[in-house]
Structure 1
Amino acid sequence: MRFLHSDGTLVHAAYCTNVHQAEDLDGVLGQLGRFAEPVREALDVPVLGLGLWLSCDVAHALAGDASLTARLRAELAARGLEVVTLNAFPYRGFHDPVVKQAVYHPDWTDRRRLDYTLDAATVLAGLLPGDAVRGSVSTLPLAWRDPWDTDRARRAELLLGELAAGLGELERRTGRTVRVGLEPEPGCVVETTTDAVRHLGFLDPERVGICLDVCHLAVQFEEPAAALARLDAAGLPVVKTQASCALHVEDPGDPAAREVLAAFHEPRFLHQTRRSGTGTDDLDEALGGLDGGAPWRVHFHLPLHAEPAAPLASTRSVLGEALDVLLGGPAAQVDHVEVETYTWQVLPHPPGDDAALVAGLAAELDWTRSRLTGLGLKEIR
């Protein structure tokens, strides 16, 4: 979906396809007709944006064969779909039975991460609509926090410098601008916007900045206005924002709340849990020993449009505040908004079939559309 900000900025809204399992090109192409086109039809929009997730193998194949990228672009166009952003955080196997900390490997101390990211940027340059100002790619925030030392930090800085140079060369070669955003996440070297300022001051702001995942922001109990002001003061641009909600537990000491919360523990993804000032790396650890005397927030991406049943809640109010700051003022601070609820299939009550998932994705995007138009953006149809 496309929106026009009052300052003239074209704002693209998309949903992230990492919710679907696809480890090869046929899988990517298959999900377009199976899910994306039906979502577009449910929303009754002429063009639907996708935040495409491509595994490292698919990205490498497409980057090395322009005819494959042209095939993908043609399939997107035929179904009324467009791509201005890619999610290059998961390297491969994002729907394996157990993912957990594997999603952070390889990290930015490993040249494979650089190669994958540049492959993704190359593919995106070939997919961008002609009138898109630029593309964006999201990636992990350096690495998981342990192990981390000055040698690893220096290695990551060198590789990210090569990334900026590679993005510049891509623009010279193709005429298309692609920026990369590092995504602060609980448990990583860069958990918060404060960490981003501390660790990422070396980034080339013309090419590399921040991907602001609002679920992660909420889990860390960061206030959107202060967080965004901090990034702005440090000269770290928000390359894109991921519209996402975390799980909020107001009274985790309540036995009824803990019983309902336990249903959200599952084996595939990591669900970092935080209370102000402390936390655990997964929900089962929190249930086993984290102090319940103050509210908890859990890294579990909840559908944007639906609050969980009491005594649980979502952090949708934090998402609303973030969108207010990013897009509610006289100047747009971001132009790519990606709905990233990849956890549909691991919810306590997941969608029963494709039609139910399509309906849920469409409802999330409709909520996003209403929120953006409520801020004064005009939908372009």
Structure 2
Amino acid sequence: MHLSYCTNVHPAEDLDGIIGQLDTYAVRIRAHLDADVLGLGLWLAAPVASALAESVELRRRLRRELDVRGLEVVTLNGFPYAAFQAPVVKNAVYHPDWTTPDRLQYTLDLARILADLLPDTAARGSISTLPLAWRTPWDATYAGTAARRLDDLAKGLAEISDVAGRPIRVGLEPEPGCVVETTAQAVEQVSRLDNEWIGVCLDLAHLACAWEDPAEAVGRLRSAGIPIVKVQISAALEASSFSDVLHDYVEPRFLHQTRSASGEATDDLDEAIEQGLPGPWRIHYHVPLHAAPAAPLTSTVAVTRAAVRELRSECDHFDVETYTWGVLPAAQRPRDDAELAAGIAAELAFARDLLFGETDS
């Protein structure tokens, strides 16, 4: 079983910047955890992914830089295409989507890179990707185009895996507001694909925002034969009813889709506040696993705990993905690189206890 943290929390988008952030954050995190090896769920923006995919020398350089620092990579985050820590991201994160050749090329580039980064201890590699597209516009024509792209993806993954000697699989990641938001929708869409190479990445904050029961969700995927190729350990923001504290979480960078227990939905938190959505709410705002939000708000960490219990026997790639450290309310936001590294280390320690420290009793 591999545990990592996702580097999409960091802004670097060129190779020198990525290597620099290994020292700024990953080395410090490994020291905090006193770990022999630290797992990274690397995020590589499309331009650097293209350069790495084209150059075996660059891939070897990245592998050396990881090895000498005691870092390993078994999974890549292929959801954001570029500029994920830009001042404003919002809906741009869903583009290009799976109707485009750019998304296919980017994902195959990531697979080629991962084939050369996998440590000897890894039985397989995994890549997470967006769940087809944002829900609008979407029709049968878009669906047919996306299906053809994903068929080409499966063929490409088979070829790359043959050379690598180990399978590299891609997981569509259900997310609020997208074509695939729930595990039921995942079964409908992913069952049509080549499940030897394409399955699901379960993000636990997204699962909570869909108000899904973890045992039922995992059982649904298992019964349908859909592989869970990767799990993103995360927690969403929760509010039992409207509170003025919610205004502190309204920010311009990311979408914070909001869902009520009764089924009402908005595409961002400010819309939920303006419309007076009935509570309780779950908000697509990844909050630190180990630290409670400002009262009276809470997090969905109870869902995270329950889901991990179900998933430990279903998956071997677990990636902590809290990309929102830089937009947290000021009182909870890290003041410098050292505080961010310490916060990520605390999250990883929390996740490690979930995976290895708890029992079912």
What is the TM-score when the length of structure 1 is the normalising length? 0.92
The equivalent position to 1:308 in structure 2, one of 293, 299, 313, is: 293
Correspondent of 2:255 among 253, 270, 288: 270
Partner Cα distance (1:250, 1:240) in 2: 30
CA–CA distance in structure 1, aligned partners of residues 181 and 120 of structure 2: 35
Alignment root-mean-square deviation, CA = 1.0
Residues 53-74 of structure 1, C-alpha deviation per residue, up to 9 Å, x if partnerless?
Answer: 0000111100100000000000
Residue of 130, 135, 148 corresponding to 1:145: 135
How do residues 323-342 of structure 1 correspond to structure 2 at under 5 angstroms? 323-327=308-312, 332-342=313-323
Give the aligned partner of residue 325 of structure 2: 344
The answer for the alignment partner of 1:281 in structure 2 is 267
Q: State how far apart, in whole Å, the 2-side matches of 1:272 and 1:237 are.
A: 26
Q: Which runs of 5+ in 1 are unaligned?
A: 1-10
Distance in 2, matches of 1:85 and 1:322, equals: 20
Q: Once the two structures are superposed, what CA deviation does each residue of 1:77-98 show, in whole Å capped at 9, x if it has no partner?
A: 0101000000010000101110
Matched, 1:74 2:64: yes
Partner SS for 1:245: coil
Distance (Å, rounded) in 1 between the aligned partners of 2:277 and 2:121: 51
SS of the equivalent of 1:130 reads: coil
Shift of 1:376: 5.3
Distance 2:276 2:75 in 1: 37
> Following TM superposition, by how much is the alpha carbon of 1:291 offset from its aligned partner in structure 2, in angstroms?
2.4
Give the total of aligned pairs: 357
Deviation, structure 1 residue 233: 1.3
User: Which secondary structure state, in structure 1, belongs to the residue aligned with residue 145 of structure 2?
Assistant: helix
Residue 216 of structure 1 and its aligned partner are, at CA, apart by 0.3
Instruction: Establish whether residue 200 from structure 1 lines up as the match of residue 183 from structure 2.
Output: no
Aligned amino acid, residue 269 of structure 2: L
For 1:177 and 1:37, locate their aligned partners in 2 and report how far apart those are by CA, in whole Å. Answer: 28
Q: Secondary structure at the match of 1:302?
A: coil
Picking from 52, 56, 81, the partner of 1:62 is 52
**Contact 1:279 1:290 survives alignment (8 Å):** no
Give the TM-score, by structure 2 length.
Answer: 0.97
Instruction: Spell out, residue by residue over 1:235-283, the C-alpha distance to the aligned partner (whole angstroms, 9 max, x if none).
Output: 111000000000000122xxxx1x1011001000000000021210000
CA apart distance, 1:370: 1.4
Q: Percent identity?
A: 58
The 2-side partners of 1:240 and 1:55 are apart by 20
Question: Contact 1:244 / 1:319 at 8 angstroms: preserved in 2?
Answer: yes
Match runs of 1:1-381 below 5 Å: 11-252=1-242, 257=243, 259-276=244-261, 277-292=263-278, 294-327=279-312, 332-349=313-330, 350-375=333-358
Contact 1:280/1:290 (<8 A) preserved:
no
Name the amino acid aligned to 2:354: R
Distance 1:225 1:307 in 2: 24
- The whole-number CA distance in structure 2 between the counterparts of 1:183 and 1:145 is 14
Q: Deviation per CA, 1:118-172, whole angstroms, max 9, x where unpaired?
A: 0001100000001210000000000000000001001011110110110000011
Once the two structures are superposed, residues 295-338 of structure 1 have per-residue CA deviations (whole angstroms, 9 ceiling, x without a partner) of 001000000001113210000000000001111xxxx2000000
Alignment partner, residue 6 of structure 1: none
The answer as to whether partners of 2:5 and 2:319 remain within 8 angstroms in 1 is yes
The residue type equivalent to 1:287 in the other structure is I
Cα offset for 1:200? 2.1
The aligned amino acid for 2:329 is P
SS state at 2:284 partner: strand
Q: How far apart in 1 are the matches of 2:356 and 2:317? A: 15
Q: 1:78 to 1:376 in 2, by over 3 A?
A: farther
Shift of 1:373: 1.9
Q: Which moved more, 1:170-179 or 1:342-351?
A: 170-179
| Aligned-residue offset at 1:173 | 1.9
Q: d(CA) in 1 for partners of 2:94 and 2:259?
A: 19
How many Å separate the matches in 1 of 2:22 and 2:104? 27
What is aligned with 1:5? none
**Take 1:33 and 1:363, find their aligned partners in 2: how far apart are those partners?**
18
Q: Counterparts of 1:266 and 1:183 in 2: how far apart (Å)?
A: 23
